[in-house]
Amino acid sequence: MELWWIYKKQTLPGFGVQADFLAGKVEGGRPNAGIPANARFTSTIDWSAAVLANMSLNQKRNVLSPYLTAGAGYMSSSANTNASNGANTGFGENWFVPIGAGFKLGVLKGVNIDLGYTVNFMKDRNFDGVNSLANDRFSYAHSGVEIALGRKGTSQLQNYSAIAALREASAAESAELKRQLAMSEEAARRDREALTAKYAQEMGDDDGDGVANKFDKCPGTDANTVLDGAGCALKVPAQIVREKIVITKADRKVVDEAIRNLEFDLGKATLRSTSNLTLDRVAALLVEKNFSLKLAGHADNAESVKTYLVSQGANASIIEATGYGFNQPIASNKTADGRQKNRRVEFTLY
């Protein structure tokens, strides 16, 4: 038998499409069960053409590259047999399915020695001249040289797996990335340790004065020294002895009478003259005993009282006037009498 591989197109690194043309003679014995052992047949293939898929099975880069093929074909053949129940046939055309396996040995880049074995399953029960119940089949082994042609950039079935080469390249890139990541993690670890050591040194307290080293502008101070926020000894001012102020019941009575007699014009912060007499006594008390006075006005009248007391000789710096507006009423603001009561001032001596 003669075999020609006319064309093979590589579409992917591990997958190609090939066209086979076959011609020659197929000889065999005992073509079917029940036929005598000395029965022989010869089938002549005038021509055949088949299209096959060729898939490389390489898993790593090496010289040996196994592959599988499968496809479909059409042929013209005739049979000549000496079987008693056989008959010589004229040329007829039938479909067949070729399935094969083999391996390539890399000689050079793009040049391989190809060794393989193919089984052809005929869609014909009379390929060998004996009509049987099942379709016939025949097989053959082949050897040859595969030469890759075309541009350098085109895909070829090389003497190594391109997919495996891609895997190796990816593995090398992955290893390099892992190495760089490990180096980055190590550098980050060293940076963290350095920052931790720096933080521990800066936030430590070497002299035990309660102020961290980073903020301690006076290192070496004693632990029991009174310090300011910068860790330096605090200069304690001389103690000022103030005379104790004693407020008597009589003093409080003067203030209480002033509160009871305190009146304002309706809807205004103007003091009525009926309040002057008791306020004069409060002013005299502040001058005599140097008391401090807090005025809490529940409208806008606390300043009016302070102004009057100052006009009667009281020191303005010892009088504190605070206005609360109408937020703390003692009576209902819905009536004129209630609103008038709410326009009050509370006195506190201290």
Q: Which residue has the tokens 């396996």?
A: 101
Cα(99)–Cα(121) distance, rounded to whole angstroms?
Answer: 8
The pLDDT score that the predictor gives to residue 84 is 65
Start-to-end CA span in the chain (Å): 131
Q: Which residue has the tokens 């609103």?
A: 339
Confidence of residue 94 (pLDDT cuts 50, 70, 90): very high
Confidence of residue 41 (pLDDT cuts 50, 70, 90): confident
Cα(97)–Cα(92) distance, rounded to whole angstroms?
Answer: 16
The pLDDT score that the predictor gives to residue 96 is 96
Q: In what order do the strands lie in the sheet with 92-108?
A: 2-12, 15-29, 40-56, 64-81, 92-108, 111-122, 137-147
Predicted TM-score (pTM) of this structure: 0.44
Q: Which residue has the tokens 């997958």?
A: 15
- Tell me the mean pLDDT in the region 144-159: 65
- Tell me the mean pLDDT in the region 157-166: 58
Share of the chain above pLDDT 90, in %: 17
pLDDT digits (tens, 9 = 90+) for 60-76: 666 788 889 999 999 99
Query: Residue 109: enclosing H or E segment and its boundaries?
Result: none
The pLDDT score that the predictor gives to residue 13 is 65
Type of residue at 207: D
Torsion angle, alpha carbons of 212, 216, 218, 222, to 10: -20
Query: Is residue 7 within 8 Å of residue 17, measured between CB atoms?
Result: no
The pLDDT score that the predictor gives to residue 155 is 46
pLDDT digits (tens, 9 = 90+) for 202-230: 777 766 666 777 777 777 777 667 776 67
Confidence of residue 301 (pLDDT cuts 50, 70, 90): confident
The pLDDT score that the predictor gives to residue 102 is 92
How far, in whole angstroms, is CA 1 from its chain's centroid?
A: 65
Has domain 2-160 been given CATH number 2.40.50? no
Task: Give domain 249-349's CATH number out of 3.30.1330.60, 3.40.50.720, 3.40.50.970, 3.40.50.920.
Answer: 3.30.1330.60
- Domain borders along the chain are 2-160, 205-241, 249-349
Strand 319-323 and strand 293-297: the pairing is: parallel
Tell me phi and psi for residue 71, to 5 degrees: -175, -150
